[in-house]
Every structure is written in C-alpha cells, then in structure tokens.
Amino acid sequence: MTSLAGGRPRVVFAQFGHGRMGKVHARNVAHHPRARLKYLVDPLADPLQAAEEYGAEVVDENRVFADPEVAAIIVASPSKTHAALVERAAHSGKAIFCEKPIDVDATRVRAVLRTVAQMGVKLFLTFNRRFDPSFRALHDRLRADEIGKPQIVLLTSRDPYPPPIEIIKISGGLFRDMMIHDFDVARWLLDEEPVELYAAGSCLNDPRVAEYGSLDTAVVTLRTATGAICVINNANNATYGYDQRVEVHGERGMLQISNRLPDSVVSSNGDGVAHTPPRHFYIERYADAYRIELDEFIAMLLDGKTLSPTGEDGLRALVLADCANESHLTRRPVAVPQS
Amino acid sequence: MTSLAGGRPRVVFAQFGHGRMGKVHARNVAHHPRARLKYLVDPLADPLQAAEEYGAEVVDENRVFADPEVAAIIVASPSKTHAALVERAAHSGKAIFCEKPIDVDATRVRAVLRTVAQMGVKLFLTFNRRFDPSFRALHDRLRADEIGKPQIVLLTSRDPYPPPIEIIKISGGLFRDMMIHDFDVARWLLDEEPVELYAAGSCLNDPRVAEYGSLDTAVVTLRTATGAICVINNANNATYGYDQRVEVHGERGMLQISNRLPDSVVSSNGDGVAHTPPRHFYIERYADAYRIELDEFIAMLLDGKTLSPTGEDGLRALVLADCANESHLTRRPVAVPQS
Amino acid sequence: MTSLAGGRPRVVFAQFGHGRMGKVHARNVAHHPRARLKYLVDPLADPLQAAEEYGAEVVDENRVFADPEVAAIIVASPSKTHAALVERAAHSGKAIFCEKPIDVDATRVRAVLRTVAQMGVKLFLTFNRRFDPSFRALHDRLRADEIGKPQIVLLTSRDPYPPPIEIIKISGGLFRDMMIHDFDVARWLLDEEPVELYAAGSCLNDPRVAEYGSLDTAVVTLRTATGAICVINNANNATYGYDQRVEVHGERGMLQISNRLPDSVVSSNGDGVAHTPPRHFYIERYADAYRIELDEFIAMLLDGKTLSPTGEDGLRALVLADCANESHLTRRPVAVPQS
Amino acid sequence: MTSLAGGRPRVVFAQFGHGRMGKVHARNVAHHPRARLKYLVDPLADPLQAAEEYGAEVVDENRVFADPEVAAIIVASPSKTHAALVERAAHSGKAIFCEKPIDVDATRVRAVLRTVAQMGVKLFLTFNRRFDPSFRALHDRLRADEIGKPQIVLLTSRDPYPPPIEIIKISGGLFRDMMIHDFDVARWLLDEEPVELYAAGSCLNDPRVAEYGSLDTAVVTLRTATGAICVINNANNATYGYDQRVEVHGERGMLQISNRLPDSVVSSNGDGVAHTPPRHFYIERYADAYRIELDEFIAMLLDGKTLSPTGEDGLRALVLADCANESHLTRRPVAVPQS
C-alpha cells in the first residue's frame, strides 16, 4: 500500500481532476515528504508539467485502478463523476480523499456509502474548514469546555462573487453547493444533531440565479434536541472579500473567529483607520487547511490515526441541505431525519 | 408651555418614576440648560434629594396634571402604569416622553394611541438605541447609500444577567420586554416593514424562566417584501458584559457596530492580548443616548423639529413581539399584520 | 469656604478666562452638584450668556479677590497671566485650579510655588491625562504590579494640526507647550524621576515654526536611575486626528492605551476594513478627564482627599522641557537637575 | 550554473549549517520546484535524514567547492565561519545566500565585500523582514507615496526570551546581533541614510548579560539629513511572544504593522476580550519571509532579477550597530560615517 523511498514509507496517490482545487492538492501531495503522486487523471492535464512539477504521469482511469501500488485516490474531478469514482476505488481497495460532494442526491450517496462500508476502505470527505487552525482552535477550546455548552452558534460565510451561471445550473443550489460547508461546521461545533431547520432565502442580485432555482442570500436556523440554536447566513456578493466567521455563545462566555487578513498593515488618515481586506477567496484563506487535511489523511493511512469527516458526515450535511431546500420551498420549518 | 429662566425658554417637566432609568432621566433634565424638572412623582422618592439634586418637588399625580406650567411629562414609572399616564397626559395637553412599553397588550396600545392622536399631543417612545452615536452613525451611513440596500441584518443583544424572576413574571416575556428594542432597530435599519417572522427560542439556563412562559435564548428571523433578511439573537447570560452589536450586509459592502469598551487599555502577556470587557449594562452603555434623546425631545418642543420613534413605532415593535410569541408557540412562521 | 445650597455644601468658584478650555470648565462647574460658579472674569465674556448658562456674574478681578465667599479659582486665562493670578489667589487664601503652565520660566514658577507654600493654599495643576479613564486604568494596573516594573515606556502624542503661528511665537516652544503633558505622564507612569534626557527635533512642515525657534516633530528619550527608558514622540500634523497612545513594557507583560473612537462603526468594502478616525482633538478626547479632575478637586476641598498633580509636578515637567530644549540646541544628552 | 531536471532549469545548492535556520532553509530548497539541494555541510547532520528529506548528500566543504555543478551556497553555519565561507565561495564563482552577519567586525566585512566584488559573484544577505508580506506591503505603500515622506518611524522588536548566555558571549552584543535587523529595516523604510545616532541601553533582567558587555533593553534614535527621526526599541523578555511592529508617521497619514497571530480566535468572558498571543518566535513569524527570500534569490539567478539586501546593506547595518555601541559607551550621540 505504500512505496519505500529512501527507507521511509510513502503513500502512493493517484489524483482525478486538475482544476483549481486539483492543482492545490497535486502540489501538496508532490511536496509531502510521506507521499508520492504517481498518476494524474484529467483530459486537460499537461503531461510535461505533471512530470516536472509533481513527478506524476498523466494516465487514464483504468491505469490507476489496475495498479496495485496506488494506495489512495484523490477525487477532485467534476462533481458528477465523484460517486462512480468512489465506488470504483472502493472495489479496488483504495483509500479515498474526496472533494465534496460525493453526489448531490442523498439516495445515491447512501448507496455509495454502503459500497464503501462493504469494501472496508477509508473514505475521507474534505470539509476543509475543520482543518483550518482557527476553526480547529475554536473547536478544541469548545470541547475543552472553556465556555460551557454552546447555546447560540452564528456562522457567516460569504463569497466575494457568485459562481459562474453554468455552475449554478448544475450545482444543486446554494444549500447543497455552498452552505453544505456550514452545515458540517454546525454539526461539528454543536456536537449534537440538528432536529429542526428553517430556511429563509432570497435572490437579490442576479435574476438568472432564481431562474435556475437557486438563491444568492440565505439564512438557516437549526435547533438541536437540547435547545441550542445555530444560525447560518450566506451571501455571494461580499465586496470586501471572502468572509468566514464563527461565533459561539456558551454558558460561560463567547468564542469567535474573525477573518484572516493577508497582511497586518493598518493605515490611518482622515478617512479612518483601515486594515487590508480579508484573504480573497478559499484558495488563499484555506491554504493551511488543505495542507493539514492531506497530512492527517496520510497519518490515518500510515500511522493508523482516526480521521473525520467521513462519508457519513458528508451525507448528514447533504440531508440538512435537502431540508433547507424543502423549508425554503414550503416556507415552513422541517424536521431533520435522524437516520 | 415653557418657563423663561434668564430670558431663555425652558421646557418644564414632571417625571413619574424614580427607579434606575428614572434617576438617569431626572439628572439629565436637571442638568439640561433648556429644561427644568419641576415635579417628581414617586412614592419612594426622597424630597430632600429631589430638591437638592434636581431642584424638583415631590408631589402626587394630581398636582402635575393640575399645573398648566408643566409642558411635558416623563413616564418612567412601572410598566403597568404607563397607558393610563399617557392617556391622562394627552387629555391634559402635555407632551409625553415615555419609557417602553406603553403597554404589553397591543389592543390597549391602539386605544391609547387613538387618544393621543385625538388630543394632538406629542408622544415620544424611548427606543434609546436610535440615539446612540454608533447606531445613529451606522443608520445615517446606510441611508446615505454607502453600501446599497441592506440584504442581511444581524442584531446581537445579550444582557449580562437575567431580570429578577419577579420581573419575568409580569414583563410579557423576552420578546415583548427585551427583543422589542431589536424589533425597533430592525425596522429602523431595514427602512421597510417585515412581512414574515420565525422565532426559535429556548430556556437553557434557569427552569423557572420557562415556568413563567418566558425564554432566555431566542433567535428571530424577519423577512421583508423585497427579500431582505434580518436575524436577531438574544441571550441574558453574557458573562463578558452587555453585548450590543449590529451587522448590515448590503449590495456593496458591510457596516458593523462593535461593542464599546469602558477604557482602551490592552494587556499582553502569555495568556494573550486582552481588551477590557464591554460596558457593563444599559445605564453605562447608553448614557450618551439617554442625554441625546432628551435633547432631541426638547428640540422638538422648542424648535419644532420632528422626532421619532413615536407611539406608532412602539406599536409596530409590539406587534412583531406578539408575532414572535405566536411563532414560538406554534413553531411556524407567522405573517406580520401590516396595519 | 463653601456655600450651602439646599442644605448641601458647595464650593463657590470664580473663573478667569472663557476661551476653549474656559468654556469646558465653566460648564462643568455650573453642572456640578457640589459646585457653583459665582464669577467669570474675561473681558470678552457675555454677561447674559454667563448668567443664563452658568448662573455666573461677569466681574473684574478685584471683585473676585474681595469676595470671601469665593473658595476656589479656576485659572484658564492666557498663559502669561497665570503666575500673577496664582500668587494673588494664594495671598487671598483661595484654592487654585490652574491650567498649565504656571509660567514658562522655571525661576518664576519656583517663586510662585514658594508663595503658594507660604500661604498654605491648595494648588492643583490640570495635567488632564492623569484623569482620563484609560490613562488612569493603565496607571492603576501598573501600580498594582500587573506587569512588574516598567522597562520601556513609549508615549505618542500627535495633534491633528499645529497651533496658530501667533501662539507658537509665545508658547515657549513645543517642549514647554505640548510635550510637557507627556513629561508629566512619563513621571507618573515611571514612578521614578528621569535623570538624563536626549531630544531630537525637526521642523518638517512649516518653516515659520523654525523661525520662531520651535519644532513640529520631536522625539525625546528619558532614562531613570534604575535604567528604565521612556521615549516620547510628538508631531502636529496627524491627519487621522488626535493621537494619544501609551505603551508600557514591563518585566512580565505589556499594557497599552489605544486611541478612543467617536463611534464603533466598522466599514468593510473592497478598500479594506475601516474604523472611524480617533476623536478629533483634546476637547472631545478628554471630555471625561475634564469632568473628573474637577470632581476630584472638589472632593479635595470638601472631603479632604489628597490630589495631584500639584504645582511641584508642574515645575518638574517644565524642568524636563527646559532640558529638552537644551539637548535639542546642544545636540547632547542633558543631566536632569534633581531638585 | 544550473541543472536541468525534467527539462526545467534548477539552481543546485550546497548548504553550510543545519541548525534552526539551516533546517528551515534546507527544507525550503528541497521543496522548491526550481532548486535542488545537492550537499549539506554540517558535522552534526544525519546523512540518512538529509537524503530522505532533502535528497542531499552530507559532505565536507572541499567537495562543495570542487563541484562545478553547485551554483549557489547557503551560509547558515555558526557566525564566525561566515566570512571565510563567503570568500571561498566568491573565489569559486558561486552565488551566496548568507545569513547575517558576514562578520561582526566591519573591517573584516569590508575586506570580504572587496573579494566578492572582484570575483563578481552575487551576495545576498538574508535580512528576512524585507520579505515578510506585511513589511513589504508597508514598504511598497510608502514608496508609492501613500502617506508622503516618513517623518517619525517607530520600530519595536522584542524577543520572547534572551539567547543562551553562551551566544551572548560571542554574538557581538545586542546591537550587532539583534538590533541589526532593525537598522536594516530603518534604512529600507526611510530610504535615506541615518547621519546621527543616539543609544540608550540597560541591563535589567539578567546581570550576567552585563558582565559580557551586552544589554537586554535598548532604545536607539536615528536622524537623517532631512530631519526624519527613527526610534528603535529592543527587549528580550516579551512574555507575550515575539513582538514585531512598525509605525511610520508621514506627512499625510500613518502606516503600521501589527503583530501576526497564529489563529484568529477571540475569547470573551468576565476577564475581557482576548486574542491569542502573537506567533511565538522568528521561525513561525517569518516562515513566509524565508520562503519568499529564497524564491527571489532563485529568480535573481535564473531570471536575472535584481535583489537586495546585498553585502553592502549588511555592512551599513553593522556600521550603525557599531555607532550604537559607541554611543552607549560614551553616552553621546555619534555621527554615522557615510562611506
């Protein structure tokens, strides 16, 4: 399952997809001392660049699954290909590092997860925020009972601009494509499943978004069985940059995450006292998280450490997104299915 | 309607009530160069202190309404006395500066407002946050179109500790007693009436609060006809002090109000970099607002300036509180009556 | 020494000067429950306004010193009149609340202080920063040994614009007119006398300032016998407003004072994340300090509390300013006279 | 001068020294797509680890200089070896990436620089702060004339703990070992040479430091010909972590750099509102700078870009450190030699 380079075990990877996120993962694998990127599968990938920058060969899917040296695959190809790749990897006994979503259809995801379970392979779903140093520090301080049980959780996620209209058509809508990260963060911080959900959404900036059944502004309220309340708000027109904030009000205090800035310059003049805007978008904001999640995936494979989020976490977040869609359409709160 | 002291007109006030807020108002009137506190009505008031500190005489209600020199009354007595005092003042032709609520029953409030309208007196309702320099600066910048139309409004109001259980019994519940301020702020900032409201509330800290039908933790989502969304969150166990924050996300940017601190000392040591906690509670946090609202009330009377919030604003906030109660009990969104 | 109004003792004041600071003090005295402003002495004062707003009579100097009811005088007239007024007040047995400076000549100040001591009157010098809540909180936390002994003290004082050129001609220069406040703060925070001083000054913005022998930019380094080092920097072209910051690095941590802002609005857009500029100038920045220093002066007279800074503190700050002038002219460090 | 791996040119490096900084540089070279670490010279280096982690061979100095494939050397060995290594590299025609100092003796440095100039090799001195994104952003905004000419520059550099006493003995003292970075930053930001310098230093925390002729607390004032003033303060007992701040007050505003924090968590409770302490020390604080300076060194060699700081910049910073020592000993300002 691993190669030995210089006497030290390395996880041999094949990666599907070489788009924006794919480039991040390929570079991280190539630079990781305990990993090797053997194959890259993408019809648009440049074999010379792959060889030069990653030491990887550009091949087709069959080569990957036929090669027993490949211990793990990274699924960073278009979303509609994920489910089939995960299943094929499961049947080939390869560990899976999968960009969200496994699929936008929960029934399909359940079938995939059954296959993964039957084949006994590891499936890691990259909800990257759990690996960001600030999110993790807040989470760990919460679990260490610094402020008691969470009572109000406020999650703010706003993109600097909307996705291209072509993506909006096929993405499954704002709740499944964008807020799904917040649903995962909510579950992770609350440490308890939401039991009821109410969604309020609007399309305020681009009427084409509404035509394709999506939204650009949304607020979702989640309630847990013990009465904790979580509110998520999303927008995709944050002129000031990628806005990623968390606030947890607990029995004995509050923990917050403010935005990370690209530099710490402060300017003072007659207009005011100004910081630089937040890091522009996810590639910059979560650069550390992408490195750390890979590192922990490798540690799971080589050192036997446990790792979440799993496919099950992905499914639960998707179920919340489906409830949000239903709530938005019916304009009523929706009970969240618990199994 | 005014006395002439030293050649300059002054508004002659009588004040009902000398509790925590009453003391603030009495001192502000006594120190105001264009006002005079002639009477104080409170069975517990100390005549010597009133004379010494305010230059006021402690009298009974009848003296106040029989004295034509009294141009305006301040209603800061217990809530259940407000409606009758406002009506009597209206019949006596005196301007009214009224602490919220006029009453916790909307039908009663409507009757009071009809009397006020018939008698043609001025009725000012002290939703003090509108007069805080930070709230006002944000409001004015919003109206000056600095960030375009509001799309998401987040209001956080958390008290450092709950009211005494005796107050909880009679206060009309969290929505009518505490969140009513936020309902007013929401209407003021949105500049548009909410049309639908959804409330999620919990009682997490003191079971007695639930016994009396109230809550200690609540989140309300408001939607306007044009699709703007406002979320209010309230709690009454903010260990770090009185928490009063606003965030408005608009088409072209974001405006926020952070908490005001009693001093600007920052301490750095191995534990971190720490500011002083926020100003402790409303008396300290809104000291400026209490002075400014009185000043503007006097300017309305002496200079003919217009002033809001009015009794009608108080009624609309109360209607939102009633909707929140209904939503909380039925666990459904509620359409907000528009008239 | 005091009048009895409503049974409560009040300090009867006469005030000299009704310029910018004089207006602040007159209003504070007039509004103070334990004080009364009986006389105002200023050839430009308006008797009607003084009567109306302060309840004060505009009189000449002789009336003040002939009236035994006057317990205290406020010296807020032009600087060159201070020394003579302080001496006459001392001879009349009246307590003195004196704007800095007593005089810009240290020999003259020493003579005045001898008279004050001989006559046994109280002399309070208004180094207002000691009464600002942030400065005081930092000072008290320092004295409570929160960070151990101060090792590096950095004082930043920058005015938003220079004084009028007419003032520059007669003010005694930047060190005596502006930095004198910082010299007092330095002594107060260090809790130890500086023994050596080095000044570096420039005239960078207006050549006329240099013509009159003054500076617009200056840095002074002070050393104490135990080796603590204090650096003061002054400028008078702070486009972002009145800049008043303190930093104390001690054995076990750091305490800082950041600028106070007029509101807590934060704006985020493509240009950055911006706070409002600091409070514009001293009248706004130190409004609380002016009230508190008066309050403590009255408490000294009525309740027997001790109060500093005294005339001696004023003299010591002036001696440091003189050393700074000498250092600037000789371009050498100067030993600070210790008596 | 470079190897071709996968068709793309790479700079072949040999590195001297494998201590704290050496490990940082070795890893950065090994991970750089345009670099290769061929040799590591350090008697304590582990050949297996070097092969495994860097792909490097542990050899002796002669192997390095005999190998024409080596295009550049990294000097990260003990300070006393730097000068000889730089000279030998110069004679071998190899580019040099040198940790400060070249030497603590300015005469020796001048001799080394003559050799470097005669041999025509590139010499880069790693004053890393110039490559930190915040320092660079401030510098570039200053050069773009955002606030006009710098008038007051304040540099704060404080270490979390002192160096080991063994290092203090041989380091040349605080000015040459620690403040030398600030001297470089001062020259870089002022864009003008200091002409006069005054140093005030103390030994407040560990008497052994004084025994070896060094200091633990120091403030230096620099003046330029045009009258700009720069103040540097250093301490080595910052309990709150590595403190690295800059403030530039210019004609039209102020630019500052605040400390970078390891995460953006903010905690609020009865004790206050607290951020995490700054990044612990230079390895964490300047991790980005170490990567960027290597990247730019490689771009100089492969793409012909210019790069500073050079050996000449190192010499000028050392001359300022020598002036500071002289000023401290004589307790007088010192004129800075300009050639």
ipTM, interface predicted TM-score of the complex: 0.95
3-state SS, residue B289: helix
The residue of chain C with its CA nearest to that of D243 is C254
Give residue-wise pLDDT tens across range B83-134: 999 999 999 999 999 999 999 999 999 999 999 999 999 999 999 999 999 9
Angle CA(A325)–CA(A329)–CA(A334) in degrees, nearest 5? 65
Determine which helix (DSSP H) or strand (DSSP E) holds C9, and give its type and residue range.
strand C8-16
Give residue-wise pLDDT tens across range A176-214: 999 999 999 999 999 999 999 999 999 999 888 888 888
**Residues of chain A neighbouring B231 (CB-CB closer than 8 A):** 219, 221, 231, 233
**Residues of chain C neighbouring D227 (CB-CB closer than 8 A):** 202-204, 217
pLDDT score for D214: 86
The residue of chain B with its CA nearest to that of A240 is B253
Q: Across chain C, which distance is largest between two alpha carbons, in Å?
A: 66
CA distance to partner chain A, nearest, from residue C278 (Å): 8
The secondary structure of residue A56, as a DSSP letter, is: -
Nearest Cβ partner for B239 among A226, A253, A333: A253
Top-level class of domain C130-288+316-335 = alpha beta
Q: Does the structure show a pLDDT above 90 at A172?
A: no
Nearest Cβ partner for B52 among C7, C31, C133: C7
Q: Across chain B, which distance is largest between two alpha carbons, in Å?
A: 66
Distances in Å between the Cα of D204 and the Cα atoms of A275, B191, C149, C325, C333 are: 36, 61, 10, 29, 21
Give residue-wise pLDDT tens across range A291-309: 999 999 999 999 999 999 9
- Which has the closest alpha carbon to B259: B283, B275, B235? B275
Given CB atoms, is D240 within the 8 Å cutoff of chain B?
A: yes
Burial pattern C230-266, b for ≥16 Cβ within 10 A else e, equals: bbbbbbbbbbbbbbbbbbbbbeebbbbbbbbbbbbbb
Alpha carbon C245 to chain centroid, angstroms: 16
Share of chain C above pLDDT 90, in %: 89
pLDDT score for C7: 55
For chain C, which chains pass the contact test of at least 3 CB pairs under 8 Å? Answer: A, B, D
pLDDT score for C4: 46
Given CB atoms, is A274 within the 8 Å cutoff of chain D?
A: no
Q: Determine the Cα–Cα distance for residues C67 and C60; give it in Å rounded to an integer.
A: 12
Nearest Cβ partner for C134 among B256, B257, B263: B263
Mutation target to probe the D interface, by most D beta carbons within 10 A, among C147, C196, C202 is: C202
Q: Are strands B272-275 and D272-275 parallel, antiparallel or unpaired?
A: antiparallel
- Which has the closest alpha carbon to B129: B74, B187, B63, B175? B187
Domain A130-289+316-335 is classified in which CATH homologous superfamily?
Dihydrodipicolinate Reductase; domain 2 (3.30.360.10)
Choices 3.30.360.10, 3.30.870.10, 3.40.190.170, 1.10.10.10: CATH for D130-256+316-335: 3.30.360.10
Size of interface A-D (CB pairs under 8 A): 96
Nearest Cβ partner for D249 among C158, C203, C252: C158
Q: How confident is the model at residue C126 (pLDDT cuts 50, 70, 90)?
A: very high
- Which has the closest alpha carbon to B36: B61, B16, B9, B68? B9
Q: How confident is the model at residue C5 (pLDDT cuts 50, 70, 90)?
A: very low
Q: Is residue C77 within 8 Å of residue C84, measured between CB atoms? A: no
Share of chain C above pLDDT 70, in %: 98
Determine which helix (DSSP H) or strand (DSSP E) holds B37, and give its type and residue range.
strand B35-41
Judge: B257–C265 Cβ closer than 8 Å, yes or no. yes
Nearest Cβ partner for A221 among B154, B219, B254: B219
Please report, in tens digits, the pLDDT of each residue of chain D (339 residues total).
444 445 568 999 999 999 999 999 999 999 898 999 999 999 999 999 999 889 999 999 999 999 999 999 999 999 999 999 999 999 999 999 999 999 999 999 999 999 999 999 999 999 999 999 999 999 999 999 999 999 999 999 999 999 998 888 888 899 999 999 999 999 999 999 999 999 999 999 988 888 888 899 999 999 999 999 999 999 999 999 999 999 999 999 999 999 999 999 999 999 999 999 998 899 999 999 999 999 999 999 999 999 999 999 999 999 999 999 999 999 999 999 987
> What mean pLDDT is predicted for residues C171-181?
94
**Residues of chain C neighbouring D149 (CB-CB closer than 8 A):** 204
Given CB atoms, is B239 within the 8 Å cutoff of chain C?
A: no
Q: Does the structure show a pLDDT above 90 at C280?
A: no
First vs last C-alpha separation in chain D: 34
Mutation target to probe the C interface, by most C beta carbons within 10 A, among B3, B265, B279 is: B265
pLDDT score for A280: 84
Judge: D265–A6 Cβ closer than 8 Å, yes or no. no
Question: Which residue ranges make up each domain of chain A?
Answer: 2-125, 130-289+316-335
pLDDT score for C279: 83
| Both tokens assigned to C92 | 């009349």
List beta partners, residue D73. Answer: D14, D96
At B239, the amino acid letter reads T
Residue B258 CB coordination number (10 Å): 18
**Residues of chain B neighbouring C141 (CB-CB closer than 8 A):** 265, 267
At C31, the amino acid letter reads H
Residue with structure tokens 């390869």?
Answer: A94
| Both tokens assigned to C199 | 């000044």
Given CB atoms, is A272 within the 8 Å cutoff of chain C?
A: yes
Residue C14 CB coordination number (10 Å): 26
pLDDT score for B12: 98
Is this structure's pTM higher than 0.90? yes
**Residues of chain A neighbouring D141 (CB-CB closer than 8 A):** 265, 267
**Residues of chain D neighbouring C221 (CB-CB closer than 8 A):** 198, 200, 219, 221, 231
Mutation target to probe the B interface, by most B beta carbons within 10 A, among D273, D275, D281 is: D273
| Both tokens assigned to A188 | 């992770």
**Which residues lie closer than 8 Å to C20 by C-beta, 6 or more apart?**
C283
Give residue-wise pLDDT tens across range C127-152: 999 999 999 999 999 999 999 999 99
List beta partners, residue C248. Answer: C153, C255
* Domain covering A2-125, topology: Rossmann fold (3.40.50)
Judge: D275–B273 Cβ closer than 8 Å, yes or no. yes
Three-state DSSP string of chain D: CEEEECCEEEEEEEEECCCHHHHHHHHHHHHCCCEEEEEEECCCCCHHHHHHHHCCEECCHHHHHHCCCCCEEEECCCHHHHHHHHHHHHHCCCEEEECCCCCCCHHHHHHHHHHHHHHCCCEEECCHHHHCHHHHHHHHHHHCCCCCCEEEEEEEEECCCCCCHHHHHHCCCHHHHCHHHHHHHHHHHHCCCEEEEEEEEECCCCHHHHHCCCCCEEEEEEEECCCCEEEEEEECCCCCCCEEEEEEEECCEEEEECCCCCCCEEEEECCEEEECCCCCCHHHHCHHHHHHHHHHHHHHHHHCCCCCCEHHHHHHHHHHHHHHHHHHHHCCCEECCCC
Q: Determine the Cα–Cα distance for residues C238 and A100; give it in Å rounded to an integer.
A: 51
Question: How high is the mean pLDDT of chain B?
Answer: 95
**Residues of chain C neighbouring D154 (CB-CB closer than 8 A):** 154, 156, 233
Q: Determine the Cα–Cα distance for residues B54 and B46; give it in Å rounded to an integer.
A: 11
pLDDT score for B7: 55
CA distance to partner chain A, nearest, from residue C259 (Å): 11
Q: Determine the Cα–Cα distance for residues C93 and C116; give it in Å rounded to an integer.
A: 9
- Please return the burial class of A290, using the count of CB atoms within 10 Å of its CB with bins 0-12, 13-18 and 19+: buried
Q: Is residue C122 within 8 Å of residue C301, measured between CB atoms? A: yes
Q: Determine the Cα–Cα distance for residues B269 and C254; give it in Å rounded to an integer.
A: 7
Mutation target to probe the B interface, by most B beta carbons within 10 A, among C10, C48, C264, C269 is: C264
Given CB atoms, is B8 within the 8 Å cutoff of chain C?
A: yes
- Which has the closest alpha carbon to D315: D213, D198, D183? D183
**Which residues lie closer than 8 Å to A121 by C-beta, 6 or more apart?**
A89, A90, A93, A94, A95, A96
Nearest Cβ partner for D204 among C198, C203, C227: C227
The residue of chain B with its CA nearest to that of D263 is B272
- Which has the closest alpha carbon to A238: A209, A217, A224? A217
Q: Is the bond leading into B309 cis (omega within 30 degrees of zero)?
A: yes
The residue of chain A with its CA nearest to that of C272 is A277
Question: How high is the mean pLDDT of chain C?
Answer: 95
Residue with structure tokens 């304009």?
Answer: A331
Judge: C6–B51 Cβ closer than 8 Å, yes or no. yes
Nearest Cβ partner for A277 among C239, C241, C272: C272
Given CB atoms, is C207 within the 8 Å cutoff of chain D?
A: no
Q: Backbone phi, then psi, for B3, in 5-degree steps?
A: -95, 160
First vs last C-alpha separation in chain A: 34
Q: Is residue D54 within 8 Å of residue D26, measured between CB atoms? A: yes
Nearest Cβ partner for C267 among B255, B264, B276: B255
Domain B130-286+316-335 is classified in which CATH homologous superfamily?
Dihydrodipicolinate Reductase; domain 2 (3.30.360.10)
Question: Of the ranges B2-6, C195-199, D293-297, which one carries the lowest mean pLDDT score?
Answer: B2-6
Given CB atoms, is B238 within the 8 Å cutoff of chain A?
A: yes
Given CB atoms, is B277 within the 8 Å cutoff of chain D?
A: yes
- Which has the closest alpha carbon to D95: D75, D122, D128, D127? D122
Q: Determine the Cα–Cα distance for residues C134 and D25; give it in Å rounded to an integer.
A: 45
Residue D47 CB coordination number (10 Å): 12
- Which has the closest alpha carbon to A220: A233, A203, A236? A233
pLDDT score for D4: 46
For chain D, which chains pass the contact test of at least 3 CB pairs under 8 Å? Answer: A, B, C
Question: Of the ranges A157-161, B211-215, B271-275, C199-203, which one carries the lowest mean pLDDT score?
Answer: B211-215
